[in-house]
Each structure stands twice: as C-alpha cells, then as structure tokens.
C-alpha cells in the first residue's frame, strides 16, 4: 500500500492559541488527527479541557495562560517544548462605528489580535523555542481588505497582523522557518454569532457563490497544509479562503 502523505504532521510539536473554541479548537483537533503533539493555549481552562477530550490520544499539553500578562507569558514559554509549528488563532471582534471609537475599544481589539501574537512570537524566538524548518501560521481575515460597517478596528488589527507576518517571514527565512497568514471570509464561529443576529448572517451567506459561510474545519484543513512539508516553498503569503465571496462581509 502506498503510504505517501505530504500532509502528515507526525513527530511535530505544534502550539495552538485560542484552542478553547472556534477555529483554534478545530485546528488543534485536526492537527492531532494528523499525528501532531499539540500544546493547547487559551484562557478558559474548562473549555481547553473540552478540546483536549475531543482529541485523539497523544503527547498533548493543556497550557492555559493569558498571553497579555507578562508573567503568565513567561511561564508558558518556559514550559514549552521545542516547536515545529505555531498557529496563532486567538482573536476578538468589536463592532463600533468609526465616529464612536474610543481608546478602550482600540485597546480591547488590538491587545488580543495584534499585541498578543507579536509578543508571544517574540518570546518564543528569543527563548529559542522554534525549531529550524518550522512553520508559523496566523489566522488573519478578509476584513483586512474588504470593509464592512463598524468593523474598522478589527479590520485594522488583521491588516497589521498581515504586515507583521510578512516582515517576520523575511527575518526567519535564513532558518527555513516559514510564516504565512490565512485570511478567511465569514466563518461560523462565536466571533460572528455574538455580534450579529442569525437572520442577518443567513441572508449574507446566500451572497457567497458557494451559498454558505465557512466551517471551522475548512480553515483547519488549510492550516494542516501550511504546517506540513507540502507547503515547504510557501512563506510570506496571505491566503484567502472565502468560498468565492472575496468582498462579501457583513
């Protein structure tokens, strides 16, 4: 039997942030099914344990920590095994019209969507926790290029993340560490269901050529590709995945 599988993640240690729900949870489970050992990070211990229970057996680690707290971040990084992959999935959204934006609105979104992954990544690199030939994936968004009402701060945070990732890719290329972003369109997660009503979302869904929003598994499968040897010549890229609805956001 031909056992060739370029998407295998066997013998890889992969950190997934935001692993307690949504895309992060799906990524953790999918990568574990592909043979990886997963470090699950998030702030909600109970929900991280729920993710852990849905994963196949393996050398997985539940590592709750608030990345925005310096002592918590240091403790997380110090306890981390050497990593072959990092998937930055943690994120928040906040719908505020531009004329009503306050400093607290900016801080709420930017601290989680931009500051946290940048600070975590810096700490991982300075602590030499990233192996040569590793792959780093950021979950960005089509929102960085496709405007929608009240979504300015979120869009800006994801645009900043993409720009950062491109610089990071250049800096890490000498060590063959690849850095890429995934830019999903609308995906069925709490990120959208908490801020928009279902009728609005169902109506918008029909504007997509494939007549549906994304599922978390759709994004997880693309993450597997970027973490695997199958994408060994891909770095500094921002990959759109939107069911053909490139500019269709709500």
- Residues known to be catalytic: 154
Q: Which residues contact 203 (CB under 8 A, 6 or more apart)?
A: none
Of 18, 23, 12, the C-alpha closest to 58 is 12
The Cα–Cα gap between 250 and 248 comes to 7
Q: At what angle do helices 152-172 and 103-110 cross, to 10 degrees?
A: 40
- With beta carbons less than 8 A apart as the criterion, state whether 91 and 113 touch: yes
- With beta carbons less than 8 A apart as the criterion, state whether 205 and 213 touch: yes
The four Cα atoms 149, 155, 157, 161 give a dihedral, to 10 degrees, of: 170
Q: Which residues contact 156 (CB under 8 A, 6 or more apart)?
A: 110
* Phi, psi values for residue 123, rounded to 5°: -70, -40
Strand-pair partners of 138: 88, 181
Let me know the angle formed at the C-alpha of 227 by 1 and 31, rounded to the nearest 5 degrees: 70
The Cα–Cα gap between 10 and 166 comes to 27
**Exposed / middle / buried, residue 126 (Cβ in 10 Å: 0-12, 13-18, 19+):** exposed
């Amino acid at each position: 039997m031909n056992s060739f599988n370029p998407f295998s993640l066997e013998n890889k240690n992969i950190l997934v942030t935001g692993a307690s729900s949504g895309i992060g949870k799906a990524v953790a489970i999918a990568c574990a099914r592909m043979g990886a050992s997963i470090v699950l990070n998030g702030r909600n211990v109970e929900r991280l344990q729920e993710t852990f229970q849905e994963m196949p057996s393996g050398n997985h680690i539940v590592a709750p920590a608030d990345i925005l707290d310096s002592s918590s971040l240091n403790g997380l990084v110090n306890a981390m095994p050497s990593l072959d992959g990092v998937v930055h999935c943690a994120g928040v959204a906040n719908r505020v019209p531009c004329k009503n934006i306050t400093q607290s609105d900016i801080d709420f979104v930017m601290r989680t969507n931009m500051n946290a992954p940048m600070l975590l990544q810096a700490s991982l690199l300075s602590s030499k926790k990233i192996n040569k030939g590793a792959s780093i994936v950021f979950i960005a968004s089509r929102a960085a290029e496709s405007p929608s009402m009240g979504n300015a701060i979120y869009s800006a945070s994801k645009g900043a993340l993409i720009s950062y990732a491109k610089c990071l890719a250049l800096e890490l290329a000498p060590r063959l560490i690849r850095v890429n972003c995934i830019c999903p369109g609308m995906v069925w997660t709490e990120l959208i269901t908490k801020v928009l009503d279902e009728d609005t979302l169902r109506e918008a869904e029909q504007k997509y050529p494939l007549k549906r929003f994304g599922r978390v598994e759709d994004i997880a499968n693309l993450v597997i590709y970027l973490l695997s040897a199958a994408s060994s010549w891909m770095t500094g890229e921002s990959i759109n995945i939107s069911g053909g609805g490139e500019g269709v956001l709500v």
